């Protein structure tokens, strides 16, 4: 597949990430719909699949430092913004007396870092709030560190075995309690990272559509089965279907169906992304930009989801439960998010937190232009 693209950054991967993050916003906005059901079969698995697909072994110290800067700093910055808004809101609404309790609950939620609180058995932490979509950032941090370590020890323990053991343990323990920092979803996501890693090594993204087109039929079938009968809930580490085999529900088989569908769905989106990158240049530019900014978009999505009444705005223009209403809601959300991206780049403290630099986009472009000119002169 890499033969198709000449860009050093693999444009089709950015396009896929752009599709994924937009689908994430749609899925969180229109929960309970068939559209959301289809999206949930692949959108979160795909980000971990891509992480494995792009993986190269690194020194643990270097990976840790990079992941802290890229994932944890934006995570805690977004949590602080959330807390700041909470305090201001309570002051303006004359609810100062509950600020201390709210800060304790939301602060503890940020430190614990889980996206689902349906199971909790730690007695001294009886009331853990969730961090919503931000669970992904801490889960990706944990998954990348663990996967890198597993690759380093694969000569002692096969990678497929170590990934399988950790993923299995995470599934079993998640039936009773959730560990901090979304550890169980992160360990479950190792399966998607593993297949992304293997598929890149085998070049199957290129080989299957080129030489094994018929194999795409059962892949599509598996994905459709998951859409109709499956539940892929990564945040709570649940992979199951409503299918019954010989009068029994088989957790391992049902889980394999949903996980396999997540892998197949990720591959289909990447195939679609290569076509978009090749033939639809304008759309590719929009999606690749969104994909490059996907982590920041996720953080802004957390804030707009909680504080921007996009649906209430749309009600002034169109009736609910119509296609036009849904489109208008998404337009409002994307406008807010892109305004946020514009401002973050231009406010030094946020630019430093989310991008690790205080340079403006114009300064960055100018520096790149100078580098290109110097390269031509050489």
DSSP per residue, 94-160: T-GGGHHHHHHHHHHHHHH--S--S----TT---PPP-GGGHHHHHHHHHHHHHHHHHHTTTTS-HH
Domain limits of the chain? 11-307
pLDDT of residue 3: 42
Percent of the chain whose predicted confidence (pLDDT) is above 90: 53
pTM: 0.89
- 286-318: pLDDT as tens digits: 999 999 999 999 999 999 988 888 888 988 898
For residue 258, pLDDT beyond 60 = yes
Average pLDDT, the chain: 87
User: For 99-120, how does the pLDDT look when each residue is reduced to its tens digit (9 = 90+)?
Assistant: 888 888 888 889 999 988 655 5
Query: Which of 53-62, 104-113, 248-257 shows the highest mean pLDDT?
Result: 53-62
Q: Which residue has the tokens 């190269």?
A: 56
Calculate mean pLDDT across residues 181-198: 95
Confidence of residue 8 (pLDDT cuts 50, 70, 90): very low
Q: What does the pLDDT read at residue 90?
A: 81
Which residues on neighbouring strands pair with residue 245, listed in sequence order? Answer: 248
pLDDT at 121 over 60: no
Give the mean pLDDT of 14-33. 90
Q: Is the pLDDT of residue 85 over 90?
A: no
Q: CA neighbours within 13 Å on the CB side: how many for 208?
A: 18
Q: pLDDT tens digits, residue range 321-349?
A: 888 888 899 999 999 999 999 999 889 89
Instruction: Give mean pLDDT, residues 72-87.
Output: 92
């Amino acid at each position: 597949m890499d033969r198709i693209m000449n860009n050093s950054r693999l444009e089709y991967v950015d396009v896929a990430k752009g599709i994924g993050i937009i689908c994430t916003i749609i899925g969180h906005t229109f929960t309970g719909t068939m559209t959301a059901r289809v999206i949930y079969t692949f959108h979160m698995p795909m980000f971990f699949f891509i992480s494995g697909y792009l993986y190269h072994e690194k020194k643990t110290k270097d990976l840790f430092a990079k992941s802290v800067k890229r994932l944890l700093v934006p995570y805690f910055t977004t949590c602080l913004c959330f807390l700041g808004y909470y305090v201001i809101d309570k002051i303006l609404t004359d609810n100062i007396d509950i600020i201390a309790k709210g800060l304790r609950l939301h602060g503890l939620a940020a430190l614990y870092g889980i996206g689902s609180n349906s199971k909790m058995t730690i007695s001294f932490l009886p009331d853990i709030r969730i961090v919503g979509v931000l669970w992904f950032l801490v889960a990706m941090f944990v998954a990348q560190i663990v996967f890198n370590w597993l690759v380093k020890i694969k000569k002692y323990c096969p990678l497929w075995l170590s990934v399988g053991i950790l993923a299995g343990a995470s599934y079993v323990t998640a039936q009773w309690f959730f560990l901090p920092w979304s550890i169980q979803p992160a360990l479950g996501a190792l399966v998607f990272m593993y297949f992304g890693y293997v598929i890149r090594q085998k070049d199957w993204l290129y080989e299957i559509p080129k030489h094994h087109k018929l194999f795409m039929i059962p892949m599509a079938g598996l994905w459709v089965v998951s859409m109709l009968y499956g539940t892929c809930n990564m945040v709570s580490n649940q992979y199951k279907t409503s299918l019954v085999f010989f009068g029994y529900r088989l957790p391992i088989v049902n889980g394999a169906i949903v996980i396999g569908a997540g892998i197949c769905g990720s591959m289909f989106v990447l195939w679609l992304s290569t076509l978009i990158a090749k033939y639809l240049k304008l759309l590719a530019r929009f999606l690749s930009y969104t994909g490059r900014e996907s982590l920041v978009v996720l953080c802004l999505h957390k804030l707009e989801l909680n504080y921007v009444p996009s649906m209430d705005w749309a009600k002034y223009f169109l009736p609910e439960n119509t296609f036009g209403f849904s489109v208008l809601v998404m337009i409002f959300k994307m406008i807010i998010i892109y305004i946020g991206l514009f401002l973050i780049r231009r406010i030094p403290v946020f630019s430093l937190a989310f991008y690790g630099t205080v340079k403006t986009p114009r300064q960055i472009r100018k520096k790149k232009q100078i580098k290109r000119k110097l390269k031509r002169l050489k």
